[in-house]
Structure 1
Amino acid sequence: MNSVILEKLEALKNLLAEMERALIAYSGGVDSTLVAKLAYDVLGEKALAITAVSPSLLPEELEDAIAQADYIGIRQELIFTMEMENPNYTSNPVNRCYFCKSELHDTLKPLAIKKGYPYVIDGVNADDLQDYRPGIQAAKERGVRSPLAEIRLTKPEIRQISQYLGLPWWDKPAQPCLSSRFPYGEEITLEKLQRVGRAEMYLRQLGYRSIRVRSDGETARIELPSAQIPDFILKTNLPELVAIFQQFGFTYVTLDLEGYRSGKLNQNIAQSS
């Protein structure tokens, strides 16, 4: 690992040490897990990881978050958030994430105060600041700090540091909440979240890691890396896959020939602005 990244790693440790006590908004993704790992290394029992549980979190992602926290050694607590009760969230506007993160941090901030933690920190990185992320605004409004972004760590650098530290999940694919699978304006319901979640878990069981099942009305659109599309078509029992997706509640099943690309739904925002 090059000297620039090592310098950033030391700067990140120093920043966390200055906090003395910190509560981490911990999802189990590569970014927040690195924050949790280093916070625990630097602060020990004065670091606490909090994982929010809601219908938009895949059950397997929750299992991963619990297992990774146990591997690190950090104390972890689960909370339940109620964004599905907010019509500003379920109506799925372009700033949906604002209402999700508002719910999260309106829950975390009082908890941090109650438990004596002066800082709530998250896993937002420098690359996130370049994308449309209304949830970041909600976090900033509530005083949340983002150590990775403050040190200007990018996603590739975070993966390099995670690998350097021996974290087995350093190459884990990004896994945003299930609500990101729906086009803006389509109402989000518990039933829709569950069918998308089941569909993605099925594809992962087939061996595909970096995948999305986008939901558009009654249609499921499968996205996977373009290089894997030929293999997928040749080796997958397509009639069986369609039948299983229909059991989950979809009417139609399609394959996106462009392939998987993070933040694809945001392209419509950029085009209309």
Structure 2
Amino acid sequence: MKQLVDLLIPHAQEGICLAFSGGVDSSLLLAAACRAVREAHSDKPVLAVTFATRLHPHNDTAEAQKLAESLGALHQVIEVDEFSDKRILMNPKNRCYLCKSLLFKSLLQAGENAGYHYFCEGSNLDDTKVYRPGLQAVREAGVHSPLIDCELTKNQIRRLASEAGLSTASKPSTPCMATRLPYDTPFDYPLLDRINRGETLIRDLGFYNVRLRFHDPILRIEVDTKDFTRFMEHRETIIKAMKDLGFLYITLDLEGFRSGSMDEGLPGNR
């Protein structure tokens, strides 16, 4: 944590503007940034920006604001409509790059309007080892990734967040909803909303990691392999809920939950 704080202290007087999703990565980064501001005796609090978008669930916005304010940061919500870029609706392989370009353009505008000049976000070292085209947009925008600079992995971040007493330490990741569909498959908001509602229904049954991957007309459900037995105990409830949402064929992925499973068919991915 000290290494992360020390990295941020020189930027405290510039004003630190941070993309804040409310997940564990950005929460640790925000906590470190707020500590850096205090240690630098800067009178400019960290500006934590949360994006309200069509591709990310909005469930956590209130929690993000509460956490940001408890850490001493200013919190701002910016609405960004990714669907305004029609290319994104086609779910191309560079969709993440297109989305991040829109988001970080908004971040820079918000920060500069408020007099902030150092911009950062919460990608971690693990993100550099998988397919993450959005990182190119981050670099092009001149936004910094301090967790990567400090070579922090997801597991290390969760441990540090727990030590810091952050409520998000054990929070599951909630990536962009478009990751639930194969690349080059067009989508719309009603479909993504049905998928999000389906994941919420299963999560409310007590499952930690849940992904619904939709290969029309097949719905492929991913949960942690250790939860398979319990999943089957809820089999009838889950099938009925998914069919009520309009999904036709309901399957359980025997490989279990794994982040980025839609990337497995890409060159260089297994």
Partner of 1:13: 5
Tell me, what secondary structure is at the counterpart of 1:259? coil
TM-score if structure 1 supplies the norm length? Answer: 0.91
- CA distance, structure 1, for counterparts of residue 138 and residue 268 of structure 2: 26
Tell me, what secondary structure is at the counterpart of 2:266? helix
Q: Is the 8 A contact 2:88 2:95 kept in 1?
A: yes
Alignment size in residue pairs: 263
Q: Which ranges in structure 1 are unaligned for 5 or more consecutive residues? A: 1-8
- CA distance, structure 2, for counterparts of residue 226 and residue 268 of structure 1: 21
Tell me, what secondary structure is at the counterpart of 2:265? helix
- CA distance, structure 1, for counterparts of residue 66 and residue 78 of structure 2: 16
Q: What displacement does 1:114 show? A: 1.3
Q: Is the 8 A contact 2:50 2:77 kept in 1?
A: yes
Partner of 1:42: 36
- CA distance, structure 1, for counterparts of residue 162 and residue 153 of structure 2: 14
Root-mean-square deviation (CA, aligned residues, Å) is 1.6
The letter for the 2-side match of 1:232 is: F
Q: Is the 8 A contact 2:111 2:117 kept in 1?
A: yes
Identity of aligned residues (%): 34
Tell me, what secondary structure is at the counterpart of 1:169? coil
After TM superposition, the structure 1 = structure 2 runs for residues 154-169 of structure 1, keeping only pairs within 5 Å, are 154-169=153-168
The letter for the 2-side match of 1:33 is: S
Q: Which ranges in structure 2 are unaligned for 5 or more consecutive residues? A: 39-43
TM-score if structure 2 supplies the norm length? Answer: 0.92
Tell me, what secondary structure is at the counterpart of 2:59? helix
The letter for the 2-side match of 1:256 is: D
Partner of 1:4: none
After TM superposition, the structure 1 = structure 2 runs for residues 84-163 of structure 1, keeping only pairs within 5 Å, are 84-163=83-162
Tell me, what secondary structure is at the counterpart of 1:215? strand
Tell me, what secondary structure is at the counterpart of 1:58? coil
The letter for the 2-side match of 1:40 is: C
Instruction: Identify if the C-alpha distance between structure 1 residues 208 and 16 changes in structure 2 by more than 3 Å, giving closer, same or farther.
Output: same
Equivalent of 1:261 in 244, 258, 262 = 258
Q: Deviations over 1:176-218 (max 9, x none)?
A: 1111111111112101110011001101110011111111223
Q: Is the 8 A contact 1:55 1:194 kept in 2?
A: no
- CA distance, structure 1, for counterparts of residue 215 and residue 268 of structure 2: 19
Q: Is the 8 A contact 2:45 2:74 kept in 1?
A: no
The letter for the 2-side match of 1:22 is: I
